[in-house]
Amino acid sequence: CLRDSVCEQAILSAFKAGYRCIDTATIYKNEASVGKALRESGLRRDDVFITTKISPKECGYESTILAINESLTRLDTDYLDLCLIHWPGIAKFKPADTKQIEIRVQTWLALEYAKNTLKVIRSIGVSNFLPTHLDTIILDPRTSIVPAVNQIELHPLFLQKETVDYCRKKSIIIQSYSPLAQGNSILLECPSILSIVNTYRRERIDSNSSNNDNEITAAQICLLWAIQHGFAVIPRSSQPQRIIQNAKALYLRPLTSDEMEII
């Protein structure tokens, strides 16, 4: 995780490149750095979308309310755009333990209260939840809100089809973290993806584009693949050049159906 001045500079570089969505979590220990970068940027709070997450150690009704207030303080903001349960379980109990399920539901009820009554969260969701975890929240008669987002690891090497299909049926937005497989060379040096990269480069050169930047990257192609699947993506980098390159994926021509299939 990016922390302290490295985190602050990465965020400021991202803002300069046009990014307006920041993903953090209490477990990352960088919420204060996010708040500091936002203050230094000069951007209005309403122009930036901030997500944070409730860690497993903070799960439970009262501890979740406390965690939300502490995150607000560290971020130096009076509301969160999105707050997620970071993980579906805690280490103290086995996955199928009824106490585990109850803690999950109580955490969700606290998020609902923070959204509906305290008005300090605009949307609530989950992270790393499988369909069985989501069912324990959605089907519980005490809950009233379906998660808006499920943030999961998702990329061409890890498709999570069952979870994606479930979320689409429930109109839950899929947000992909590690959309570049944490820079895994198996993905970014995959011959089929590099072939597509070369096709894009040839097209740009052949078009005599006034854009002097002919550098198309495998990362951009992977991000475009995810976007065309309808996934929200949150790539991470501390390097300004890569931050800019990743953003340019939005301006590439769409992948063809054959290219999507190859990936």
Sign of CA dihedral 14, 7, 213, 185: negative
The question of whether 28 is a catalytic residue gets the answer yes
Q: Which of 28, 166, 177, 200 is catalytic?
A: 28
Say which residue the tokens 């976007």 belong to: 227
Joined tokens for residue 104:
């999950």
235 touches 179 (CB < 8 A): yes
Joined tokens for residue 32:
């204060």
Of 138, 75, 93, 73, nearest to 112 (Cα)?
138
Of 257, 194, 260, nearest to 226 (Cα)?
260
Of 128, 110, 220, 235, nearest to 174 (Cα)?
128
Joined tokens for residue 119:
């008005």
Sign of CA dihedral 52, 53, 58, 63: positive
Enumerate the active-site residues: 28
